[in-house]
Structure 1
Amino acid sequence: MEKAVKANEKFESNPPAEKQKREARQGFRRRKRRGQPPLPKEDIKIILRPHKGLCFKNILGLELSRAVIDACQRSFNGNDFLLRVHPGSNIVILSTPGMKVASRLRGISQLKIRGQIHAFNVYVADPEGVLRGIVHGIPAGTSQDELMENLRVRIQGANIERARMLGSSKTAIITFTGNVLPRSVYIKGAELICYPYKPTVQVCKICLQTGHRTDVCPTPNVIVCLKCGAREPMQ
C-alpha cells in the first residue's frame, strides 16, 4: 500500500512530458498574441499604402524609416516620428506630433527601398470623434485637392474635414466634423447621396489574403488556386 502511495506522489510531482509540452505551446501562443502598444493618441497618423508588388513582410522597419527620412530630404530625424508596419494590411503608419513633419510625410509619393523606386498612396488617418461617409460616381483618379476644392455641404453643423478616393474605384470617402452626417454632398454643383461609411474586411482576389485590395496586392505575380487557396498549384 505504501509503495502505491509513493508511486502516486511521484506521478503527481512529475507531470507527463506531453502535458509539459502542451503547456509550453499554450504559453508561447499567449506570448505571441501580445498586441503592440497604442501609438500616441494626439499624434497625427500618416498612412503609406504601396502600389502593387511591394510586400512589407520582407522589409526591415529600419530600412523603411531611412527611406522615409531620405524622401523628405532629411529635414527631420527618427526622433520626430514613429513608424509601424501592419503586415496584414500591407501598410505603414507614421505617427508624429509635429505639423511640419506631418506635412512633409504627407508629401511622400515614392520611396527608394533596396535600390528600387516604389510608388505609394499616402493619406492622413482620421482622428477620433469624426463622422465618415462615402459617395459613389466620382471619376477614378480624382485627387484629394480637387475633391476638397469642389465638395460642399448645405446643412449647418457639418464641415468637410478631408476627402480621398478609395483606391482605383469611383468611390470617395469623406470625413466630416460635427454631429450630423449629411444625407447628400455636392461636387461642382452635382448632388451625390452620402452613405454612412462601414469598414469591411478587404479580400484580395489575386492572393486571396485579407487586409488589402486587389489593386494594391503585394504579390501580384504569385499564382493562387481560387478553389483551394494553394500557391503555385500544379497545372
Structure 2
Amino acid sequence: MAAALAPQDLMEDSICPNVTQNIFVVCTPIERNARAYTMVQQLRLRDTLYRVAVYPAPPDNTCKGVIRGIDIDLTDTQLRELIVTKRNPSALEVKRIKNTTAVTILFQGMQVPNYVYCGASIVRCTLFRRHTEVCYNCGSLGHRADVCPNPNTTWCRKCGLKTPPENHQCKPHCTLCGGPHPTADKDCKRKFQVPYIVRQRRRRRRRRGRSRSRGSSGASSRDSSATSSTYATSRRSRSLTPTARRRSAQRSHSRSRRHSPSRQAELTWADRVQGKKPPLRSTPPVTKVTRPSLPEHESEVVTTLREELAGLRATIQQLTTQLNEARHQIQTLTAPKDPPSSTVDVSKPKRRAPPLREADTNDSDSPEDTLNEILRLTRENHDNIDTLSRRVEALEQKATIKAKTKARTVVSVDPTANLPGPPNSM
C-alpha cells in the first residue's frame, strides 16, 4: 500500500469515497496510521499513477482563523514555530493557503481571537470562510477543475449554458446567487460558505425566538380565554330576569341536595324490620380549583414589609414635625428685637447689677450658641428624613415586586360546602 502499512494494521481503519468532490476520507483511531497517510503523495490504480494531496482533517470542537500578509518565504515549519507558542495558547496547527500570503490557524474551542502573535508581531485574525467550490470545466458545484470527474464537458462561465456553440453571446448570470455577474465572481454574495460557528449561533437564536414566541402566544391565549369566559358569564347573569335568576338558584339548590354526601340512602321495609342502618353514599371527589391569590391571602413577607413601611412613614412624619418646630425657633431667634422704650418707671426701685459669676454664666448661653445647636439638630433631622425616605422607596419597590411575582395558589374546594342545605321539615 502507498502508506506502507501492513494489512493487520488496517483492521480498524475505514475509507469513504466522496464522488461529488472526487475525494475520499480515511478514518483511523491510530495516530501512527494517520501520520503515514499524510505522507502519501501518489496512488497507483492498475497501471495509472495519480498524484494526491493529503491533509489531516481538524478534530471536533475546533475552529479556523486566517491571517494575511505573511511572508511567502516562511515554510510551514517556521510558521508553526512562530505561531504555535505559549503566547497563542489556543493555536493548534498552522497551514499556508497554496502560494499566497494567507495562513490558516486551527484553534481549540469555538472562538477565534481577534489578534494573534506571529513571532514578535501582532497580526489581525479573522474567521476563516471556505470558498464555494465551482468547477470551471463542467460548471458543477462541490469540486474543483483539477479533480473534475467529467473533463470532457464544457460550459459557459458567464451564463452557465452547457456546451455553448461557437461565437456564443450572452449576458452574465451567476448560478450561485442569480446576480448579473459571472459565476463565483469576487462580487458574488454566496462565494463564501457560512462558517459552522455562524450557523450554530443562528440556529440558537432561532430556537430562542421560537421559544419566546410560543411562551408569549400561550400566555396571551390563556388571558384571552379567561377574559372571554368571565365576560360570557357576566353577560348571561345580566341577561337573566329576576324570576329566571330565582329559578336557576332553586335548581342549583335542588342539585346540591340531590348530590349531597350527607344524605342517606333510603331503606326498604325488610331492612327496617331487621334494624339495619342506612348506608352512607360515597363522598364525591374533592375538586381542585386554581385561582389567583387575592389581596387577603398575601404572603407574610409582604405583610411585614407593609407594617415596616407604615412605621417608617410615621417616623418621617414625626421628624418632619420636629424640623418645622426647629425652623420656627430659628426664625424667632433671628427676628429683630424691638428697641427698649425711653420711658423710665419711677415707681419701681432700681435693680442692682448681678455679680460677676452670674454675668459670665449668662454670656456662655448666648443666642448664637443656641442657634448653632438648633441648626446642627436640624441638619441631623434632615439627613435622617432623607435616609428613611430612601428606605421607604426601596421597601415599596420590593413590596410591588413581591406582589407581582407571587405564585398562584391551589385551593381545595368542596363543591357542596357553601351551598345552603334543605329546609327543615316539621
TM over 0.5: yes
| 3-state SS of 1:112 partner | strand
Distance 2:97 2:151 in 1: 19
Identify the structure with the greater strand proportion. 1
Matched, 1:120 2:52: yes
Q: 1:219 to 1:192 in 2, by over 3 A?
A: farther
| 3-state SS of 1:85 partner | strand
- Cα shift readout 1:64-116 (whole Å, capped 9, x = no counterpart): xxxxxx10124345423111111222221100111111111111111112322
Q: Show the counterpart of 1:173.
A: 104
Distance 1:214 1:139 in 2: 28
- Cα shift readout 1:9-62 (whole Å, capped 9, x = no counterpart): xxxxxxxxxxxxxxxxxxxxxxxxxxxxxxxxxxxxxxxxxxxxxxxxxxxxxx
| 3-state SS of 1:80 partner | coil
Q: Show the counterpart of 1:161.
A: 92
One-letter amino acid of the counterpart of residue 87, structure 1 = V
| 3-state SS of 2:91 partner | strand
* TM-score between both structures, scaled by the size of structure 2: 0.34
Q: 1:170 to 1:224 in 2, by over 3 A?
A: farther
- Cα shift readout 1:178-198 (whole Å, capped 9, x = no counterpart): 565222233344443110123
Asked if structure 1 preserves the Cα contact closer than 8 Å seen for 2:4 and 2:36, the reply is no
Q: Show the counterpart of 2:419.
A: none
- Cα shift readout 1:199-224 (whole Å, capped 9, x = no counterpart): 44322333322123456555566432
User: Which fold has the larger relative contact order, with Cα–Cα distance below 8 Å and residues 6 or more apart in sequence?
Assistant: 1
Distance 1:105 1:76 in 2: 14
Matched, 1:87 2:19: yes
Matched, 1:226 2:154: no
Q: Structure 2: which 5+ runs fail to align?
A: 167-426
One-letter amino acid of the counterpart of residue 202, structure 1 = E
Q: 1:149 to 1:226 in 2, by over 3 A?
A: same
One-letter amino acid of the counterpart of residue 116, structure 2 = V
Matched, 1:208 2:177: no
Larger Rg: 2
Distance 1:146 1:213 in 2: 29
Q: Show the counterpart of 2:401.
A: none
Asked if structure 1 preserves the Cα contact closer than 8 Å seen for 2:65 and 2:106, the reply is yes
Q: Structure 1: which 5+ runs fail to align?
A: 1-69
One-letter amino acid of the counterpart of residue 148, structure 1 = R
The partner residue of 2:126 within 173, 192, 195 is 195
One-letter amino acid of the counterpart of residue 86, structure 1 = N
* TM-score between both structures, scaled by the size of structure 1: 0.57
How far the C-alpha of 1:167 sits from its partner, in A, is 3.9
Distance 2:47 2:56 in 1: 27
The partner residue of 2:81 within 129, 144, 149 is 149
One-letter amino acid of the counterpart of residue 101, structure 1 = N
Q: Show the counterpart of 1:105.
A: 37
Asked if structure 2 preserves the Cα contact closer than 8 Å seen for 1:153 and 1:184, the reply is no
Matched, 1:130 2:62: yes
One-letter amino acid of the counterpart of residue 18, structure 2 = H
Asked if structure 2 preserves the Cα contact closer than 8 Å seen for 1:83 and 1:95, the reply is yes
Q: Show the counterpart of 2:252.
A: none
Q: Show the counterpart of 2:3.
A: 72
RMSD: 3.1
Asked if structure 1 preserves the Cα contact closer than 8 Å seen for 2:87 and 2:117, the reply is no
Distance 2:124 2:2 in 1: 38
Q: 1:137 to 1:218 in 2, by over 3 A?
A: farther
How far the C-alpha of 1:232 sits from its partner, in A, is 4.0
Identify the structure with the greater helix proportion. 2
Asked if structure 1 preserves the Cα contact closer than 8 Å seen for 2:67 and 2:126, the reply is yes
Asked if structure 2 preserves the Cα contact closer than 8 Å seen for 1:134 and 1:171, the reply is yes
Asked if structure 2 preserves the Cα contact closer than 8 Å seen for 1:167 and 1:215, the reply is no
